[in-house]
Amino acid sequence: MTRGRVLRIGTRGSELALWQAGWVQDRLEEQHPDIVTAVEIIKTKGDKVLDSALAEMRDKGFFTREIEHALLDQTVDLAVHSLKDLPTELPAGLAIGAVTERGDIRDVFIPNPRNPLRTLAGQPKGAVIATGSLRRRCQLLHLCPGITVADIRGNVSTRIKKLDESDWAGIILARAGVERLGWEDRIGETLSAEKFLPAVGQGALAIEIRGDDERVRSIVSTLRHLPTEYATTAERSLLHRLEGGCQVPIGTFGRVVENQVLKLDALVGSLDGRTIVRGSIHGEPSNARGLGEELAEQLLSAGADRILEAIRASRPLSP
Protein backbone atom coordinates (compact mmCIF):
# COMPACT_ATOMS: atom_id res chain seq x y z
CA MET A 1 0.00 0.00 0.00
CA THR A 2 1.57 3.27 -1.04
CA ARG A 3 1.80 6.22 1.31
CA GLY A 4 -0.98 8.71 0.74
CA ARG A 5 -3.71 6.11 0.39
CA VAL A 6 -5.50 6.22 3.73
CA LEU A 7 -6.62 3.06 5.48
CA ARG A 8 -9.92 4.06 7.08
CA ILE A 9 -10.84 2.47 10.43
CA GLY A 10 -14.51 2.45 11.42
CA THR A 11 -15.52 2.54 15.08
CA ARG A 12 -18.19 3.64 17.51
CA GLY A 13 -17.58 6.96 19.23
CA SER A 14 -17.56 5.90 22.89
CA GLU A 15 -14.44 6.54 24.94
CA LEU A 16 -13.66 2.82 25.10
CA ALA A 17 -14.35 2.23 21.39
CA LEU A 18 -12.01 5.10 20.48
CA TRP A 19 -9.30 3.70 22.76
CA GLN A 20 -9.65 0.33 21.04
CA ALA A 21 -9.58 1.80 17.54
CA GLY A 22 -6.58 3.92 18.49
CA TRP A 23 -4.76 0.87 19.83
CA VAL A 24 -5.32 -0.97 16.55
CA GLN A 25 -4.32 2.14 14.59
CA ASP A 26 -1.04 2.42 16.53
CA ARG A 27 -0.20 -1.29 16.09
CA LEU A 28 -0.89 -1.16 12.35
CA GLU A 29 1.27 1.93 11.86
CA GLU A 30 4.08 0.37 13.92
CA GLN A 31 4.05 -2.83 11.88
CA HIS A 32 3.39 -1.18 8.51
CA PRO A 33 5.28 2.16 8.46
CA ASP A 34 4.17 2.81 4.87
CA ILE A 35 0.50 2.91 5.83
CA VAL A 36 -1.47 6.07 6.60
CA THR A 37 -4.55 5.46 8.79
CA ALA A 38 -7.55 7.49 9.87
CA VAL A 39 -10.34 6.76 12.33
CA GLU A 40 -13.95 7.30 11.20
CA ILE A 41 -16.60 7.53 13.96
CA ILE A 42 -19.91 5.88 13.11
CA LYS A 43 -22.95 6.12 15.38
CA THR A 44 -24.80 2.83 15.86
CA LYS A 45 -28.30 2.05 17.05
CA GLY A 46 -26.80 1.05 20.39
CA ASP A 47 -25.43 4.57 20.78
CA LYS A 48 -28.78 6.17 19.96
CA VAL A 49 -31.28 3.96 21.83
CA LEU A 50 -30.48 4.44 25.51
CA ASP A 51 -33.89 3.94 27.10
CA SER A 52 -34.18 0.16 26.60
CA ALA A 53 -32.43 -2.62 28.49
CA LEU A 54 -29.90 -4.51 26.39
CA ALA A 55 -31.69 -7.77 27.20
CA GLU A 56 -34.85 -6.51 25.47
CA MET A 57 -33.21 -5.71 22.15
CA ARG A 58 -34.07 -8.04 19.28
CA ASP A 59 -31.34 -6.74 16.95
CA LYS A 60 -28.16 -8.82 17.35
CA GLY A 61 -26.22 -6.13 15.47
CA PHE A 62 -27.19 -3.48 17.99
CA PHE A 63 -23.66 -2.07 18.24
CA THR A 64 -22.31 -3.07 14.82
CA ARG A 65 -24.91 -2.76 12.03
CA GLU A 66 -24.17 0.79 10.85
CA ILE A 67 -20.42 0.18 10.92
CA GLU A 68 -20.89 -2.95 8.83
CA HIS A 69 -22.94 -0.95 6.32
CA ALA A 70 -20.02 1.47 6.06
CA LEU A 71 -17.68 -1.45 5.39
CA LEU A 72 -19.91 -2.84 2.66
CA ASP A 73 -20.31 0.50 0.90
CA GLN A 74 -16.54 1.07 1.23
CA THR A 75 -16.83 4.17 3.40
CA VAL A 76 -14.29 2.46 5.69
CA ASP A 77 -11.74 -0.29 5.02
CA LEU A 78 -11.90 -2.13 8.33
CA ALA A 79 -13.84 -1.94 11.58
CA VAL A 80 -12.73 -2.41 15.17
CA HIS A 81 -15.25 -3.99 17.56
CA SER A 82 -15.29 -5.42 21.04
CA LEU A 83 -15.60 -9.06 19.99
CA LYS A 84 -18.38 -9.61 22.51
CA ASP A 85 -20.52 -7.08 20.58
CA LEU A 86 -20.09 -8.83 17.23
CA PRO A 87 -22.90 -11.25 16.27
CA THR A 88 -21.88 -14.83 15.49
CA GLU A 89 -23.36 -14.50 12.00
CA LEU A 90 -21.82 -11.71 9.91
CA PRO A 91 -23.52 -10.04 6.94
CA ALA A 92 -22.74 -11.55 3.53
CA GLY A 93 -19.50 -10.12 2.20
CA LEU A 94 -17.87 -9.47 5.58
CA ALA A 95 -15.37 -11.50 7.61
CA ILE A 96 -13.24 -11.31 10.74
CA GLY A 97 -9.75 -10.45 9.53
CA ALA A 98 -8.08 -10.75 12.93
CA VAL A 99 -8.79 -11.32 16.60
CA THR A 100 -6.24 -9.54 18.77
CA GLU A 101 -4.55 -10.82 21.90
CA ARG A 102 -7.06 -10.86 24.69
CA GLY A 103 -6.93 -8.44 27.58
CA ASP A 104 -8.05 -9.47 31.06
CA ILE A 105 -11.15 -11.60 30.57
CA ARG A 106 -12.54 -11.22 34.09
CA ASP A 107 -15.35 -9.11 35.53
CA VAL A 108 -14.83 -6.75 38.46
CA PHE A 109 -16.93 -5.47 41.32
CA ILE A 110 -16.73 -1.70 41.70
CA PRO A 111 -18.17 -0.64 45.06
CA ASN A 112 -19.92 2.63 45.73
CA PRO A 113 -17.35 5.02 47.29
CA ARG A 114 -19.58 5.17 50.38
CA ASN A 115 -19.70 1.36 50.68
CA PRO A 116 -16.98 0.10 53.07
CA LEU A 117 -17.38 -3.48 51.76
CA ARG A 118 -15.08 -3.77 48.73
CA THR A 119 -16.00 -7.34 47.75
CA LEU A 120 -19.19 -9.18 46.78
CA ALA A 121 -18.88 -11.49 49.75
CA GLY A 122 -20.55 -10.03 52.80
CA GLN A 123 -22.81 -7.57 51.00
CA PRO A 124 -25.93 -7.31 53.20
CA LYS A 125 -29.30 -8.71 52.21
CA GLY A 126 -31.09 -6.24 49.94
CA ALA A 127 -27.89 -4.55 48.76
CA VAL A 128 -28.34 -3.30 45.19
CA ILE A 129 -25.77 -4.20 42.54
CA ALA A 130 -26.25 -2.83 39.02
CA THR A 131 -25.51 -4.49 35.69
CA GLY A 132 -26.93 -4.40 32.19
CA SER A 133 -26.09 -8.06 31.55
CA LEU A 134 -28.40 -11.03 32.12
CA ARG A 135 -25.30 -13.24 32.36
CA ARG A 136 -24.03 -11.17 35.29
CA ARG A 137 -27.50 -10.89 36.84
CA CYS A 138 -27.93 -14.66 36.82
CA GLN A 139 -24.54 -15.36 38.37
CA LEU A 140 -24.89 -12.57 40.94
CA LEU A 141 -28.21 -13.93 42.16
CA HIS A 142 -26.82 -17.45 42.21
CA LEU A 143 -23.71 -16.51 44.22
CA CYS A 144 -25.35 -13.84 46.43
CA PRO A 145 -29.05 -14.79 46.69
CA GLY A 146 -29.87 -12.00 49.15
CA ILE A 147 -28.96 -9.10 46.89
CA THR A 148 -31.10 -7.02 44.52
CA VAL A 149 -29.96 -6.44 40.93
CA ALA A 150 -30.67 -3.14 39.15
CA ASP A 151 -30.42 -2.53 35.41
CA ILE A 152 -27.90 -0.03 34.02
CA ARG A 153 -26.91 1.22 30.54
CA GLY A 154 -24.14 3.46 29.30
CA ASN A 155 -20.39 3.40 28.73
CA VAL A 156 -17.86 2.71 31.48
CA SER A 157 -17.50 6.30 32.67
CA THR A 158 -21.27 6.86 32.56
CA ARG A 159 -21.90 3.76 34.65
CA ILE A 160 -19.33 4.80 37.25
CA LYS A 161 -20.91 8.26 37.41
CA LYS A 162 -24.36 6.69 37.90
CA LEU A 163 -22.92 4.54 40.67
CA ASP A 164 -21.46 7.55 42.46
CA GLU A 165 -24.82 9.36 42.30
CA SER A 166 -26.79 6.33 43.54
CA ASP A 167 -27.33 4.39 46.73
CA TRP A 168 -26.29 1.13 45.04
CA ALA A 169 -23.73 -1.08 46.75
CA GLY A 170 -21.77 -1.37 43.51
CA ILE A 171 -21.70 -2.34 39.85
CA ILE A 172 -20.14 -5.13 37.78
CA LEU A 173 -18.00 -4.26 34.76
CA ALA A 174 -15.47 -5.98 32.48
CA ARG A 175 -11.96 -5.51 33.83
CA ALA A 176 -10.46 -5.00 30.37
CA GLY A 177 -12.56 -1.90 29.72
CA VAL A 178 -11.94 -0.54 33.22
CA GLU A 179 -8.18 -0.94 32.75
CA ARG A 180 -8.14 0.56 29.26
CA LEU A 181 -9.82 3.72 30.54
CA GLY A 182 -7.71 4.06 33.68
CA TRP A 183 -10.32 3.29 36.34
CA GLU A 184 -8.32 0.52 38.08
CA ASP A 185 -8.29 2.41 41.38
CA ARG A 186 -12.07 1.93 41.62
CA ILE A 187 -11.90 -1.86 41.48
CA GLY A 188 -12.87 -3.52 44.74
CA GLU A 189 -12.64 -7.14 43.64
CA THR A 190 -11.67 -9.03 40.49
CA LEU A 191 -13.94 -12.03 40.06
CA SER A 192 -12.54 -15.46 39.19
CA ALA A 193 -13.22 -16.31 35.54
CA GLU A 194 -13.78 -19.95 36.50
CA LYS A 195 -16.42 -19.08 39.13
CA PHE A 196 -18.00 -16.04 37.43
CA LEU A 197 -17.96 -16.91 33.74
CA PRO A 198 -17.34 -13.99 31.34
CA ALA A 199 -19.18 -13.08 28.15
CA VAL A 200 -18.36 -14.65 24.81
CA GLY A 201 -15.31 -12.87 23.41
CA GLN A 202 -14.83 -10.67 26.47
CA GLY A 203 -11.51 -8.81 26.52
CA ALA A 204 -10.72 -9.41 22.83
CA LEU A 205 -10.98 -7.08 19.83
CA ALA A 206 -12.23 -8.15 16.41
CA ILE A 207 -11.09 -6.49 13.20
CA GLU A 208 -13.86 -6.88 10.63
CA ILE A 209 -13.09 -6.53 6.92
CA ARG A 210 -14.67 -7.12 3.52
CA GLY A 211 -14.27 -10.81 2.76
CA ASP A 212 -12.76 -10.24 -0.68
CA ASP A 213 -10.28 -7.55 0.36
CA GLU A 214 -7.10 -9.60 0.43
CA ARG A 215 -4.83 -6.55 0.81
CA VAL A 216 -6.50 -5.41 4.03
CA ARG A 217 -6.69 -9.02 5.24
CA SER A 218 -2.92 -9.29 4.79
CA ILE A 219 -2.32 -6.01 6.63
CA VAL A 220 -4.47 -6.82 9.68
CA SER A 221 -3.26 -10.45 9.85
CA THR A 222 -0.17 -9.19 11.70
CA LEU A 223 -2.44 -8.49 14.69
CA ARG A 224 -3.86 -12.03 14.84
CA HIS A 225 -3.30 -13.86 18.13
CA LEU A 226 -3.94 -17.55 17.52
CA PRO A 227 -4.54 -18.68 21.15
CA THR A 228 -7.18 -15.95 21.53
CA GLU A 229 -8.61 -16.83 18.12
CA TYR A 230 -8.97 -20.49 19.07
CA ALA A 231 -10.54 -19.67 22.45
CA THR A 232 -13.03 -17.16 21.10
CA THR A 233 -13.92 -19.36 18.10
CA ALA A 234 -14.98 -22.05 20.56
CA GLU A 235 -16.96 -19.52 22.61
CA ARG A 236 -18.70 -18.07 19.55
CA SER A 237 -19.47 -21.53 18.19
CA LEU A 238 -21.14 -22.43 21.49
CA LEU A 239 -23.13 -19.19 21.48
CA HIS A 240 -24.24 -19.72 17.89
CA ARG A 241 -25.52 -23.23 18.66
CA LEU A 242 -27.39 -21.93 21.71
CA GLU A 243 -28.76 -19.06 19.60
CA GLY A 244 -27.87 -16.64 22.34
CA GLY A 245 -27.08 -12.95 22.67
CA CYS A 246 -27.83 -10.20 25.15
CA GLN A 247 -31.27 -11.75 25.70
CA VAL A 248 -30.11 -14.90 27.49
CA PRO A 249 -27.75 -15.60 30.43
CA ILE A 250 -24.84 -17.46 28.82
CA GLY A 251 -21.32 -17.36 30.21
CA THR A 252 -18.24 -19.05 28.79
CA PHE A 253 -14.49 -19.11 29.24
CA GLY A 254 -12.19 -20.55 26.59
CA ARG A 255 -8.41 -20.65 26.91
CA VAL A 256 -5.45 -22.55 25.52
CA VAL A 257 -3.64 -24.11 28.49
CA GLU A 258 -0.46 -26.12 28.92
CA ASN A 259 0.39 -28.72 26.26
CA GLN A 260 -1.66 -26.75 23.72
CA VAL A 261 -5.03 -27.94 25.00
CA LEU A 262 -8.11 -25.80 24.49
CA LYS A 263 -10.35 -25.80 27.55
CA LEU A 264 -13.87 -24.41 27.44
CA ASP A 265 -16.25 -23.85 30.36
CA ALA A 266 -19.80 -22.61 29.89
CA LEU A 267 -23.09 -22.09 31.67
CA VAL A 268 -26.70 -21.29 30.95
CA GLY A 269 -28.77 -19.98 33.85
CA SER A 270 -32.25 -18.88 34.75
CA LEU A 271 -32.98 -15.17 35.21
CA ASP A 272 -33.42 -15.59 38.98
CA GLY A 273 -30.11 -17.45 39.32
CA ARG A 274 -31.74 -20.46 40.94
CA THR A 275 -31.01 -22.88 38.11
CA ILE A 276 -27.55 -23.12 36.54
CA VAL A 277 -26.46 -25.70 33.97
CA ARG A 278 -22.67 -25.84 33.66
CA GLY A 279 -20.29 -27.90 31.60
CA SER A 280 -16.68 -28.16 30.50
CA ILE A 281 -14.81 -29.68 27.58
CA HIS A 282 -11.25 -29.80 26.31
CA GLY A 283 -9.50 -30.84 23.13
CA GLU A 284 -7.34 -29.76 20.21
CA PRO A 285 -7.31 -26.01 19.53
CA SER A 286 -7.69 -26.75 15.82
CA ASN A 287 -11.13 -28.22 16.66
CA ALA A 288 -12.29 -25.06 18.42
CA ARG A 289 -15.55 -24.79 16.48
CA GLY A 290 -16.41 -28.42 17.06
CA LEU A 291 -15.66 -28.21 20.79
CA GLY A 292 -18.00 -25.23 21.15
CA GLU A 293 -20.80 -27.04 19.36
CA GLU A 294 -20.25 -30.21 21.38
CA LEU A 295 -20.34 -28.40 24.71
CA ALA A 296 -23.49 -26.55 23.64
CA GLU A 297 -25.16 -29.88 22.90
CA GLN A 298 -24.13 -31.19 26.31
CA LEU A 299 -25.65 -28.14 28.02
CA LEU A 300 -28.87 -28.44 26.03
CA SER A 301 -29.17 -32.12 26.93
CA ALA A 302 -28.55 -31.30 30.61
CA GLY A 303 -31.50 -28.88 30.78
CA ALA A 304 -30.29 -25.65 29.17
CA ASP A 305 -32.90 -26.09 26.44
CA ARG A 306 -35.72 -25.74 28.98
CA ILE A 307 -34.09 -22.67 30.58
CA LEU A 308 -33.68 -20.94 27.22
CA GLU A 309 -37.21 -21.74 26.10
CA ALA A 310 -38.66 -20.34 29.33
CA ILE A 311 -36.61 -17.13 29.08
CA ARG A 312 -37.53 -16.48 25.46
CA ALA A 313 -41.20 -17.11 26.18
CA SER A 314 -41.26 -14.72 29.15
CA ARG A 315 -39.32 -11.69 27.94
CA PRO A 316 -40.72 -9.04 25.57
CA LEU A 317 -38.25 -7.91 22.94
CA SER A 318 -37.91 -4.44 21.47
CA PRO A 319 -37.65 -4.27 17.67
User: Catalytic amino acids?
Assistant: 85
DSSP track, 208-235: EEETT-HHHHHHHGGG--HHHHHHHHHH
Euclidean distance between CA atoms 15 and 20, whole angstroms: 9
Among the listed residues 250, 51, 66, 43, the one whose alpha carbon sits nearest the alpha carbon of residue 153: 51
Among the listed residues 62, 170, 176, the one whose alpha carbon sits nearest the alpha carbon of residue 117: 170
Angle at 201 between CA 113 and CA 248, to 5 degrees: 80
Angle at 246 between CA 98 and CA 287, to 5 degrees: 45
DSSP-derived letter for residue 318 is B
Euclidean distance between CA atoms 54 and 253, whole angstroms: 21
Q: Residue 141: enclosing H or E segment and its boundaries?
A: helix 134-143
For the chain, the first-to-last Cα distance in angstroms comes to 42
Interstrand relation of 78-82 and 205-210 (parallel, antiparallel or unpaired): antiparallel
